Structure 1
Amino acid sequence: MKYYELIANMTLEEKASLMSGKDFWQSQDNERLGIKSMFLADGPHGIRKQAAASDKPGLNAGVPATCYPTAATVANSWNAELGQKVGEYLGEEAIAQKVNVLLGPGVNMKRNPLCGRNFEYFSEDPYLAGKMAASYIRGIQSYGVSACVKHLAVNNQEERRMSIDTIVDERALREIYLTAFEIAVKEGKTKSIMSSYNKLNGTYTNENMHLMQDILRGEWGYNGTVITDWGGSNDRVAGLLAGNELEMPSTAGETDKEIVQAIKSGKLKEEVLDESVDRLLDLIFTTTEALRKPQLEFDVEKHHRVSQKVAEESIVLLKNEGNLLPLKFGKKIAVIGDFAKDARYQGAGSSIVNPTILDHTMDCFEESGIVSIGFEPGFERYGKKDQNKIDKACALAEQADAVLLYIGLDEVTEAEGLDRQSMRIPENQIELLNAVQKVNPNIIAILSCGSAVEMPWIDKVKGLLHGYLGGQAGARAILRVLSGDVNPSGKLAETYPLRYEDTPTYHHFPGKEVSVEYRESIFIGYRYYDTVNKDVLFPFGFGLSYTTFAYSDISVNERGVTFKLTNTGNFAGMEIVQLYVGCQSQEIFRSKKELKGFVKVFINAGETKTITIPFDDKTFRYFNVKTNKWEIETSGYTIMIGASSTDIRLETTMHVKGTEAVLPYDKAMLPTYYSGKPSNISEDEFENLLGRKVPVSTWDRTKPLGYNDTLAQCQYAKGVFGRLVYHSIVFAHWYLRKIGKRSTANLIIMSVYHMPFRGISRMTGGVVSMPMVDGILKMVNGRFFKGLTHFLKERRKLIRNNKLRPQ
């Protein structure tokens, strides 16, 4: 151990006290031993160090910080160097704000387009997500502070996220859901990792020995710190045994006592606690040392310009009929859409940043060179229909040569804690689009949202520019692309299906009660669409440019693939070239192709460059569930170079000698997976893949409610009080939405409706103890007065103990 002498000087109680927070945002300190508190702040795309005192729970306003484009946006740049630059600037701001640990980036897979937190995640592809995350981590940690990659693992829905059991086969777990984390650990060398709320195959992730010990600590050699998601601890001792050092937020000493008691009873060896303390101390001391450096305030203007550059490189041009873009000089432009006046630039929830500066479209026109003849909002932001606004917008559109129509999703539709209800944009925006198109067909739609949407209206627009969520400078960045000052170079990091029903997870998202089954296995995103040859709206890796590129002269050897790229157009530009690999063997079911490399190249008009994409340890591997190892199959492999997953420009083959491992599957037992059309998998076939029975996915409504049941389940409570609580929550949510308080209504769903009973204690920083939760459970389970008496008794005991605790 690195800090053996210091740990030897600690009492058992002192060691246990370090394992949970001091308050909502700080780790515990120890003045006697010279151990300082760490400050942990949300920060995937900007630091949210709340301005309120750190003992105040909740989503309070943050200290002003640069709001960079979200991860979903930056992933569209496919530029790891740019990701590292974002990380460096985040690290600099962390130093300026005295933040030890920045809680990000998020690398969960975009299994389903409706996941409410997709705007915080990079991609549907683990290789792209991992490479981008590693670059962020290197940038952040270059300043000595820590990144905290999250949420380990298979946290792919927001509904019931604190209690849902994710049922996934081992191969899909390794190849799809853990590969990005593996890259973040091995290449990014992240100092800390956040465990997820959910269960994985029956066990909460931060207690899951297979995940936390066998894979994370064992196979990946990770020796950093594991931190719970806030309120994400279930059984504290089981978490510690699995190697989870820091529980956040504070439990006011309640779980410290559980650790001490477990050691005294022999349930937990003190050596396990010592090792956890050692790893946590390393995080505390290294990041605290970084914060000792004298640091002036960061350059607000410079960081704003960097945010703009990142947004510019991440914007995706999806349609440009008749080369309407870039806009020709002197064209009269009508600007329509509420998002032009008040930019939609970030998501909602724990990642929300209080920007230092905020650009809005209507304030940036003069410098863009685009001639605006006026602005009309056209629609009500949160979906209410208003014919008068449509009429005014049409009157303006009639006078223009072309229309810039700003549409998308509002802030409360994409938010942490709840999933979207559909892939559609609001109907009032589509009605506006249809009306405007009748009076002016030259519509350029500017889309603002952090996740995939259906576009049945796409034939009504001639141009489509997707800005995703471009951060505080995104509005200006979009105008620079529209004007031609910037040649768009972003490409989609996720597939856009024609309709939601086409998605491979349509029948199994979200898990509504006990569990969610990942029956599609490895077939998510383009791995599914390309394998079954399903038409999509926009494929993975797609994006247009104002110039054109030609690919030629492919050659391949055991080290990698080389080819030539020529800019055949009239503009300098950047092209994202993508390496896909497909195994020709039929012995193991596979997707048709998998991304195994990419590079972004700047190239002048008429110029030719020779490009090499090297192979690595992930190029040919698959996870074998019989050997429990990564193996390589002896086979011919198709090596593909593409401009997207469906636009393959060059192709060659090579033979690879494998590891000659035993075959992992019996084909006869998995006919649908091997069929090339892996959809609507039956329960029997999924169980054959899992190697076990799937658990019952519905609540047992006959049992009393317990710690891990949610407040939503009070609708089935035996006690009248419990059912009254449920109906009160539902009414409050309905009423708040009706009066326009949608953000508060969402907060009720996120923080109350889907909260397990243990979360009442774990999320309140010691205000409510677990014995008090026992009283609440008695009340909802039909013993109201006995429960109330117990609750009040434990409340008095808690107040008395808090008065006796040293401050």
Structure 2
Amino acid sequence: MISEKFKAGDFRALVAEMTDEEKVSLLAGHRMWKTQAIERLGIPHMVMTDGTYGVRYSIPQIDDDQAGGMDFAAFLSVVNQRADHVQTAWGQMKPATCFPNGTSLACSWDVDLAHRLGEALARECQEFGVHLLLGPGINIRRTPLGGRSYEYYAEDPILTGDFAAGVISGLQENGVGASLKHFACNNSEVERTTMDSIVEERALREIYLKGFERAIRQSEPWTVMSSYNRLNGVQAAENSWLLTKVLREEWGYDGLVVSDWHGVKDRPASLIAGNDLDMPESETRKADLLAAIEAGDVDRAPVDRACERVLELVRKARQGENRTVTFDRAQHHALARRLAADSMVLLKNDGGLLPISQTKVKRIAIVGEGAAAPVIQGSGCATTTPTSKDVPVDEIRKLAGSDISIDVFQGTSEIASECEVLVNEAVQGVAGADIVLVFVNTENGYDGEGSDRRSLGLAPGHDALVERLARANPNIVVIISSPDAVAMPWIGKVPAVIEMFFSGQATGGAVADILFGRVNPSGKLTTTFPKRMEDMPTYLTYPGENGRHVYSEGIFVGYRWYDARGIEPLFPFGFGLSYTEFAYSNLALDRTILRTGEKVAVSFAVTNTGKVGGKEICQVYARYGRPRLTRPVRELKGFAKVELKPGESRTVTVDIAAQDLCAYDTALQAWVLDNDAVTIEVASSSRDIRLSTELQTVSAVAVHRRIERDTQPIFILENPAARRKFNRFLQKQLDISPEDADRMLEHCTNSFVGIFTTFDRRFRRTFPKADIEALLAEINQEADQQQRRAA
């Protein structure tokens, strides 16, 4: 029986009635996927489960309250047997729709589709009885080798945050909570629970935290999940700077923080730092927290506050549940097909080889294991048991019809001894085909939790297969399934390439739609494809050593690195082809001067100049003029996707807030808008700028550094307020005129030592320490006041 106090939200009263043991149990969850019910007080439980692109429902662990792992006797009985990982880890699963994975779906650049995904996931959660879905995962794809990159959206925080907000809103508007994860800097699976991500604060703020902040402000997720790794020396789940100062105090987040599963190492420390819920249930960690409370090492105030947050979450969950909801398997499969087709990226199409013309093509040769057994998703906690699975060969046959003959060749095998025979068979078989479709993928087992990929190459034998086939038949289309970017040593020898990433259970139907032109490809890359590993920003310091991973590229992540270094990528960020062409014109801004707190509307026209309808992803970048701090060559600031018929033109407007043009000044510990001439660029990709115009940004913040005793004179003279106060100081101390005081200051301009040492060295004048401290305090206090007014 649920208590009236719980229904009314009188959580303080409920917590006051709890024993310490009950509080600890509430903050520790129940088994793998539930919160702890407290029947004595009428407090119910709620159910959560994994799923960034599909609901992974373990029947024994949720329905039967089975604990994770297995007892020792059961382990011994199966230890020498080869078992499926998912079934071993989670037991029997309820089939759910396996939608496109994060790397795939985000290539749609369509926030409305992200919202539709959230809605669909919510319907499946409601039918299954799940209150909280543990996703989306939005860590920046810092390296394409990252084992969980397939779950994440982009190398850019603006796209990442906006896309995540769409998914979260779709879930929560339909009564199911989201858990935004993994907070923060979980960018590699190498030693993932112990590795220390060493990130300087500006990169942390501008790249790795910005997507979280953006998603939280737009969608208010019910929970945020702390990550496994250490961050600058402190375990993320125990990092008070991250979980309290930044998340709660600066961003104003008032939801619940939940740990990643077994991500807490010191439970009392994590509770004090702001990690409310420790999952899954651990008797050891519960005992540690109870002992710390009873010993007075943990105050009861943060314990009670965390309990109230758990109760608030459970109440939201119970209010949102609707057990009358069911989901239509066929409709969700159709949605998965649409999402996949809108996300696949056409990387090359020389000579208009695609789409396949049924009047010109009479014979198709299909090669590759992935044609019959597609790789649809990565491995690990996000893995979904699909409700069905499209087979590419079957779907291609359906669209080809009876007038086109189709031959299928395996081409490769994981059994090395079979490969040469299979390759030779495929090479001979593709001769004379009007078009060859070769399905390739990355190595299975290196695309999920616990292991990063070892190279940018495809699976063993796949690159060689493409090379051999390209020599046998020039009309080849390479179709790639991969978790992230891959190298393409054969790119100059093939006319067409489609990157599918991991496109979910409807992969086969979606790629058939693209191949035959039923869907005009519109996906664009959300990460840069390097030509080789040595070009990657992370190359010299990845994956770290001695338990430390230094993010040496700083703010120059992804395309920012390639632009700054002048490195030509294989394919740039934001790139993707279509079966039609688009022209851009008439760029206009609704203001030419932008101040703190304002926004600028960037408007331009897009015209479909081709012969078929299509969708164009328009990107807006900022290119800085003479910034005070080092900035990238350009940064994405907004985007829009527009659908146009042949010959149709439409005006697109993208709003950019002044806040999004700020840099984080670590000296001021604040976001600062420069006085600068910023070029606003409208682009089809980060390397295809179509239009540009200038915007003047005007700072309302004290942009000058704080003044200390050893600050060099040049920095004081560049600061009008500081120069004015130093002038008055010299007048008073030396009884001189304003003109003489200014001449003294000018004479110090080129000094390489501090201002007061310069006075002593050049004029043999010293000043009372108390007067110096008073002057510095006055200057810095005025700057702080100006900063607060601007904020």
Shorter-chain TM-score above 0.5: yes
The aligned counterpart of 1:432 is: 465
Alignment match, 1:584: 625
Q: Specify which of 54, 58, 64 is matched with residue 50 of structure 1.
A: 58
> Counterpart in 2 of 1:494?
527
**Which residue identity does 1:228 align to in structure 2?**
S
One of 300, 313, 316 as aligned partner of 2:329: 300
CA distance in 2, matches of 1:515, 1:48: 33
* 1:144 aligned partner: 175
- The residue type equivalent to 2:277 in the other structure is L
Correspondence 1:314 to 2:347: no
Secondary structure of 2:288 counterpart: helix
Aligned twin of 1:249: 280
Task: Go from structure 1 to structure 2 and tell me whether the alpha carbon gap of 1:492 and 1:383 turns closer, same or farther (over 3 Å shift).
Answer: farther
Q: How many Å separate the matches in 2 of 1:648 and 1:420?
A: 33
Matched, 1:24 2:32: yes
**CA drift at 1:257:** 3.0
Measured in 1, the distance between the counterparts of 2:671 and 2:387 equals: 46
Contact 2:127 2:327 in 1 (8 A): yes
Aligned counterparts, 1:268-287, within 5 A: 268-287=298-317
Deviation at 1:297, TM superposition (A): 3.1
1:288-367 map, 5 Å: 288-291=318-321, 293-330=322-359, 331=361, 332-367=363-398
Pairing 1:33–2:41 present = yes
Partner letter of residue 420 of structure 1?
Answer: R
**Corresponding position: 1:263 with 2:304:** no
How far apart in 2 are the matches of 1:389 and 1:6?
68
Q: Does 1:553 align with 2:586?
A: yes
Q: Does 1:619 align with 2:685?
A: no
- Provide the C-alpha distance between the structure 2 equivalents of 1:258 and 1:553, rounded to a whole number of angstroms: 65
**Aligned partners of 1:551, 1:428: CA distance in 2, in Å?**
43
* 1:479-521 alpha-carbon deviations (Å, 9 max, x no partner): 1010011000000000001111001110111123321111111
> Any idea what the Cα deviations from partners look like across 1:136-195, whole Å, max 9, x if unmatched?
000111121211011000111101010011111111001000011101211121000110
**Alignment partner, residue 390 of structure 1:** 423
Q: Taking structure 1 as reference, are residues 661 and 385 closer, same or farther at Cα in structure 2, changes over 3 Å only?
A: farther
**Structure 1 match to 2:196:** 165
After superposition, the C-alpha distances for 1:521-567 in whole angstroms (9 at most, x for unaligned) are: 10010011112221111000000000000001111133221111111
Verify the 8 A CA contact 2:627 2:676 in the aligned structure 1.
no
Equivalent residues of 1:346, 1:411 under 8 A apart: no
State the alpha-carbon separation in 1 of the partners of residues 258 and 448 from structure 2.
Answer: 22
The AA in structure 1 aligned to 2:549 is: V
Deviation per residue, 1:115-136 (Å, 9 max, x gap): 1110000000011000000100
* One-letter amino acid of the counterpart of residue 303, structure 2: L
Task: Write the distance in 1 (CA, Å) between the matches of 2:455 and 2:355.
Answer: 32
Give the 3 Å change call, closer, same or farther, for CA 382–24 of structure 1 in structure 2. Answer: farther
1:661 aligned residue (681, 702, 709): 702
Residue aligned with 1:454, SS: coil
Q: Quick check: 1:13 aligned with 2:21?
A: yes
Residue-by-residue CA offset, 1:5-64 (whole Å, 9 max, x unaligned) = 111221122111111121122221111122222222110000001122342425324210
**Secondary structure in 2 aligned to 1:565?**
strand
What is the alpha-carbon distance in structure 1 between the residues aligned to residue 42 and residue 125 of structure 2? 22
2:736: which partner in 1? none
CA distance in 2 between partners of 1:453 and 1:366 (Å): 28
Partner Cα separation in structure 2 for residue 444 and residue 385 of structure 1? 24
CA contact (8 A) 1:587 1:663 kept: no
Q: 1:618-674, CA deviations, whole angstroms, 9 ceiling, x for partnerless residues?
A: 4311111112111101111010000000100001111110134334699x99xxxxx
Moved more, 2-11 or 238-247: 2-11
Secondary structure of the 1:347 match is: coil
1:292-334 CA distances to partner (integer Å, 9 max, x unpaired)? Answer: x232431100110011110010010000010000011141110
Superposition pairs of residues 384-423 of structure 1, within 5 angstroms? 386-423=419-456
Q: Could you give the per-residue CA deviations for residues 731-753 of structure 1, whole angstroms, max 9, x where no partner exists?
A: xxxxxxxxxxxxxxxxxxxxxxx
- Counterpart of 1:194? 225
Kept in 2, the 8 Å contact 1:626–1:662? The answer is no
3-state DSSP of counterpart to 2:657: coil
Stretch moving more, 34-43 or 445-454: 34-43
Say how many residue pairs are matched.
666
Query: Which position in structure 1 is the counterpart of 2:615?
Result: 574
Distance 2:660 2:215 in 1: 17
What one-letter code is carried by the residue in structure 1 that aligns with 2:193? M
Structure showing greater Rg: 2
8 Å CA contact 2:178–2:222 kept in 1: the answer is yes
Task: Name the SS of the counterpart of 1:451 in structure 2.
Answer: coil
Deviation at 1:438, TM superposition (A): 2.0
Could you tell me which amino acid in structure 2 is paired with residue 303 of structure 1? H
Q: What TM-score, normalized by structure 1, do the two folds share?
A: 0.81
SS for the counterpart of 2:39 is coil
Q: Please list, as runs of the form range in 1=range in 2, the aligned pairs for 1:477-516 lying within 5 A after superposition.
A: 477-516=510-549
Residue of structure 2 in register with 1:458 after alignment: 491
Structure 2: which 5+ runs fail to align? 1-8, 70-88, 592-599, 713-791
- Amino acid paired to 1:406: F
Q: Secondary structure at the match of 1:508?
A: coil
The alignment status of 1:467 with 2:475, answered yes or no, reads no
1:85 matched residue in structure 2: 116
Contact 1:384 1:428 in 2 (8 A): no
Say if 1:458 and 1:520 are closer, same or farther in 2 by CA, change over 3 A: same
1:532 partnered with 2:565: yes
Partner amino acid, structure 2, of 1:658: S
The answer on whether the counterparts of 2:624 and 2:633 sit within 8 Å (CA) in structure 1 is yes
Asked if the contact 1:166–1:198 (Cα under 8 Å) also holds between the matched residues in 2, the reply is: yes
Q: Deviations over 1:411-463 (max 9, x none)?
A: 31211111111111134112211221222111001111120001111112111
Instruction: Give the structure 1 partner of residue 83 of structure 2.
Output: none
Distance 2:234 2:310 in 1: 24
CA distance in structure 1 between the aligned counterparts of 2:286 and 2:635, rounded to whole angstroms: 46
* Ranges in structure 1 where 5+ consecutive residues have no aligned partner: 670-807
> 2: distance between equivalents of 1:665 and 1:393?
69
Tell me how far 1:410 sits from its aligned partner: 3.8
1:668-692 deviations in whole A, cap 9, x for unaligned?
99xxxxxxxxxxxxxxxxxxxxxxx
AA partner of residue 412 (structure 2): F
2: CA distance, partners of 1:617 / 1:227 = 32
Q: 2:249 & 2:423 partners in 1: Cα distance?
A: 60
Contact 1:326–1:484 (8 Å) recurs in 2: yes
Instruction: Read off the aligned partner of 2:342 and give its amino acid letter.
Output: E
Looking at structure 1, the residues matched to 660 and 31 of structure 2 have their Cα atoms a distance apart, in angstroms, of 45
Percent identity, aligned pairs only, is 39
Q: Which moves more between the two structures, 550-559 or 71-80?
A: 550-559
Amino acid at match of 2:581: T
Residue 504 (structure 2) pairs with residue 449 (structure 1): no
Other structure's SS at 2:505 match = helix
Distance in 2 separating the partners of 1:182 and 1:426: 37
Counterpart contact for 2:366–2:438, Cα < 8 Å: yes
How far is 1:77 from its partner? 0.2
